[in-house]
């Protein structure tokens, strides 16, 4: 008679609980066994099963329990779709361990908060949580919780999922290339066109006034009174229905001027915005006493709009030349459109004797044959990733809080903002600790030194297109380390040895913190496997009487495969013979890519809002790669030196086939077939 899988696992667990301490292995198996004890659903012998508990918090709206659904779907890896010892794909009760589980949701004394539990989950699997609301009574909801909705059952005692109704909506009035007026959730600014009007509407009753806020940092839903990075507050009248703000001149607000005469000075805010840092705008309603409506549980949150001074190309003048630029081009690699992947970012050893119970992710790599002969996985190997089927989730660790439509150039602005957000969270957040541990004086929080350092490091990494989550982040940033340090030296005023020390310490901290999130161990990151096209530039200062350009600007033609890139240049390039290596990741231009089809049950006017952000991004990346990138036989990179904000010096044009690697010399070149 065949032994039930649950009894086999129970027997092994009991044996290991006794034997491991005797051979010097910490008795974490016993603790894990306790976490995987029999579930309380009355189903009997369920050794190795976990009941995951948590709460759902609904901010700004009251919904019925029966209108709320929460599911947990197992991620399936490899050809067999099995994870971590579930060799027959069945639960102990034969119900099928690969099936989606539905949470039991119960009401609490607070109508905004629900408790939930999901019973009979496998402690050896990764699950995607997803939440849905049947009715449209709350309007658009942004869900915040575990990263990408991923959990490993039992790792957290309780999981918190927060839904935010966007009770005050906002969009920006803009004009598309054909002259049509539109209202969008993001827009591009330029020195020639930077005055914008905003439209806002609130669902809160009795509102007759509001405050428009403009900031350099993405707004947090938990801080509407004194948000970080705040630049300006503007009082607004308003009432029921749609309200329009007065025109706001961002050239004047940020740079103190207007039009092409706007001044780009040494101020850290001016430096950051001039070199691509996004601006965030929202309107917060006031109550009858003139106080901001900041109680999120009852008032919900205010949606935001993103603005960005995108780089733009202009007719170029003749070369002086003030710089020579050569380099190597590497083509984009396709997204994995149907699968969800894990990529190794740190060395990890997998012990096959204990992996099932102590190292569930290592067990997946073991089962899929991804270990080397010594039982290790490490970044850079051909086997440093695994892929599986994953149902995308509306839940993520950072919500977008955008109520307006994202299309056309707004998609580019939204992408830039996400890059900056990740750099601030994954790199700049380590600056304070580095400054403190190195004992650097006169560079405290809020000082010109600290503000300049933060702005320069963020601008340098963003201009190179290097988010810290990128599996190749460490290799690429090390190639451009001298460039990053040069920018920091110019903006912070710190001596070279201090700049070198703090930059190295911050980058090392970013690398150490690179993995993890969403229940993943620190040696893994989730990854759609898309890799942008890449330039490794060698920039040299020849003997010349011309001034050093303020920035390099790179564009492509035809079809603008990539948005124009602006790379600020540090003064260390000024001496004759000075040379820098600058790696640049070229973000794909998703403007004009296809949209997902709206499902019948979705009432949102923007079809992309009916799907998780990760699913929309993968769809658009795949469309860009297959129907644009792969179809262009020849593309030309145009490299310019930007002088004084208005004069573009021609530093070279290089025609090449985008699908293959190529080297290009200084001047002009053509390697197209």
Q: Identify the band that residue 44 occupies on the pLDDT scale cut at 50, 70 and 90.
A: very low
- Return the pLDDT at 145: 92
Q: Identify the band that residue 274 occupies on the pLDDT scale cut at 50, 70 and 90.
A: confident
- Asked whether 656 and 634 are in contact (CB, 8 A), the reply is yes
- Return the pLDDT at 42: 37
The whole-model pTM stands at: 0.84
Q: Percent of the chain having pLDDT more than 70? A: 85
- Asked whether 498 and 440 are in contact (CB, 8 A), the reply is yes
Q: Identify the band that residue 323 occupies on the pLDDT scale cut at 50, 70 and 90.
A: very high
Dihedral sign for Cα atoms in the order 604, 609, 615, 618: positive
- Is 392's pLDDT higher than 70? yes
- Is 518's pLDDT higher than 80? no
166-309 and 316-333+532-591+632-673 agree in CATH topology: yes
- Asked whether 254 and 270 are in contact (CB, 8 A), the reply is yes
User: Region 240-253: what's the mean pLDDT?
Assistant: 94
User: Region 335-355: what's the mean pLDDT?
Assistant: 85
163-203 pLDDT, tens per residue?
999 999 999 999 877 888 999 999 999 888 899 999 999 99
- Return the pLDDT at 385: 87
48-68 pLDDT, tens per residue?
688 999 999 999 999 999 999
Least confident range from 49-58, 373-382, 626-635: namely 373-382
Rg of the Cα trace of the chain?
27
Candidates 666, 642, 664; CA nearest to 652 is 666
- pLDDT top residue among 338 and 648: 648
Distant-in-sequence, close-in-space partners of 6: CB < 8 Å, separation ≥ 6: 45, 46, 47, 48, 92
648-662 pLDDT, tens per residue?
899 999 999 999 999
User: Region 4-20: what's the mean pLDDT?
Assistant: 38
The angle, 0 to 180 degrees and rounded to 10, between the axes of the packed helices 431-438 and 496-512 is 130
Least confident range from 22-31, 142-151, 258-267: namely 22-31
- Asked whether 35 and 123 are in contact (CB, 8 A), the reply is yes
- Is 16's pLDDT higher than 50? no
| Euclidean distance between CA atoms 461 and 53, whole angstroms | 39
Q: Percent of the chain having pLDDT more than 90? A: 46
Q: What are the sequence ranges of the domains in the chain?
A: 1-35, 166-309, 316-333+532-591+632-673, 340-389
| Euclidean distance between CA atoms 639 and 600, whole angstroms | 47
Strands 301-302 and 158-175, by their bridges, are: parallel
- Return the pLDDT at 261: 52
Helices (H), ranges, 397-528: 409-426, 431-438, 448-463, 473-479, 481-492, 496-512
**Read out DSSP for 220-259?**
PTT-SSS-TTEEEEEEEE--SS-EEPPPEEHIIIIISS-G
Please state, rounded to an integer, the average pLDDT across all residues of the chain.
83
Instruction: Assign domain 166-309 to its CATH architecture.
Output: Sandwich (2.60)
Least confident range from 205-214, 288-297, 518-527: namely 518-527
Spacing of C-alpha 619 from chain mean position: 16
- pLDDT top residue among 136 and 322: 322
Instruction: Assign domain 316-333+532-591+632-673 to its CATH architecture.
Output: Sandwich (2.60)
User: Region 352-363: what's the mean pLDDT?
Assistant: 82
């Amino acid at each position: 008679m065949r032994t039930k899988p649950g009894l086999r696992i129970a027997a092994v667990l009991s044996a290991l609980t006794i034997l491991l301490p005797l051979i010097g292995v910490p008795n974490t198996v016993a603790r894990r066994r306790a976490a995987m004890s029999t579930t309380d659903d009355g189903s009997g012998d369920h050794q190795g099963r976990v009941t995951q508990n948590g709460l759902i918090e609904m901010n700004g709206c009251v919904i019925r329990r029966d209108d709320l659904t929460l599911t947990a779907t197992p991620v399936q890896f490899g050809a067999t779709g099995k994870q971590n010892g579930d060799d027959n794909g069945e639960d102990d009760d034969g119900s099928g361990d690969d099936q989606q589980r539905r949470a039991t949701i119960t009401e609490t004394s607070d109508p905004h908060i629900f408790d939930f539990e999901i019973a009979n989950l496998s402690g050896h699997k990764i699950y995607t949580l997803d939440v849905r609301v049947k009715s449209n009574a709350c309007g658009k909801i942004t869900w915040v919780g575990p990263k990408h909705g991923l959990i490993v059952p039992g790792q957290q005692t309780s999981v918190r999922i927060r839904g935010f109704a966007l009770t005050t909506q906002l969009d920006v009035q803009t004009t598309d290339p054909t002259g049509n007026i539109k209202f969008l959730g993001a827009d591009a600014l330029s020195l020639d066109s930077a005055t914008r009007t905003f439209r806002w509407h609130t669902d809160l009753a009795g509102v007759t006034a509001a405050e428009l806020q403009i900031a350099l940092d993405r707004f947090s839903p938990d801080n509407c009174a004194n948000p970080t990075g705040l630049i300006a507050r503007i009082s607004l009248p308003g009432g029921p229905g749609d309200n329009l703000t007065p025109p706001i001149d961002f050239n004047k607000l940020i740079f103190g001027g207007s039009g092409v005469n706007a001044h780009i000075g040494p101020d850290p805010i001016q430096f950051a915005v001039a070199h691509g840092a996004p601006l965030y705008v929202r309107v917060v309603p006031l109550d009858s006493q003139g106080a901001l409506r900041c109680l999120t549980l009852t008032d919900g949150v205010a949606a935001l709009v993103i603005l960005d001074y995108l780089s733009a190309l202009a007719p170029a003048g003749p070369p002086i030349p003030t710089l020579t630029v050569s380099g190597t081009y590497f083509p984009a690699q396709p997204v994995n459109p149907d699968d969800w992947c894990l990529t190794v970012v740190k060395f990890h050893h997998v012990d096959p004797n204990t992996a099932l119970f102590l190292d569930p992710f290592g067990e997946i790599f073991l089962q899929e044959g991804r270990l080397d002969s010594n039982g290790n996985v490490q970044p850079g190997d051909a086997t440093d990733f695994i892929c599986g089927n994953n149902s995308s989730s509306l839940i993520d660790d950072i919500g977008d809080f955008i109520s307006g439509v994202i299309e056309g150039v707004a998609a580019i602005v939204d992408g830039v903002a996400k890059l900056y957000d990740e750099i601030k969270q994954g790199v700049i957040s380590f600056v304070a600790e580095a400054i403190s541990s190195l004992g650097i004086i006169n560079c405290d929080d809020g000082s010109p030194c600290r503000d300049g350092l933060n702005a320069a490091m963020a601008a340098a990494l963003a201009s190179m297109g290097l988010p810290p989550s990128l599996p190749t982040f460490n290799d690429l940033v090390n190639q451009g380390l001298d460039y990053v340090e040069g920018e920091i030296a110019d903006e912070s005023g710190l001596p070279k040895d201090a700049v070198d020390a703090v930059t190295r310490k911050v980058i090392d901290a970013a690398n150490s913190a690179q993995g993890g999130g969403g229940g993943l161990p620190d040696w893994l990151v989730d990854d759609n496997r898309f890799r942008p096209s890449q330039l490794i530039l060698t920039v040299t200062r020849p003997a010349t009487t011309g001034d050093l350009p303020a920035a390099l600007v790179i564009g492509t033609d035809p079809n603008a495969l990539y948005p124009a890139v602006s790379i600020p240049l540090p003064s260390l390039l000024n001496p004759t013979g000075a040379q820098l290596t600058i790696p640049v990741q070229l973000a794909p231009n998703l403007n004009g890519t296809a949209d997902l089809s709206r499902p019948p049950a979705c009432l949102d006017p923007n079809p992309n809002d009916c799907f998780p952000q990760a699913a929309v991004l993968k769809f658009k990346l795949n469309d860009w790669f297959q129907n644009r990138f792969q179809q262009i036989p020849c593309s030309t990179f145009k490299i310019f030196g930007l002088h004084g904000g208005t004069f573009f010096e021609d530093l070279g044009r290089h025609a090449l086939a985008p699908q293959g690697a190529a080297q290009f010399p200084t001047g002009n070149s053509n390697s197209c077939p």
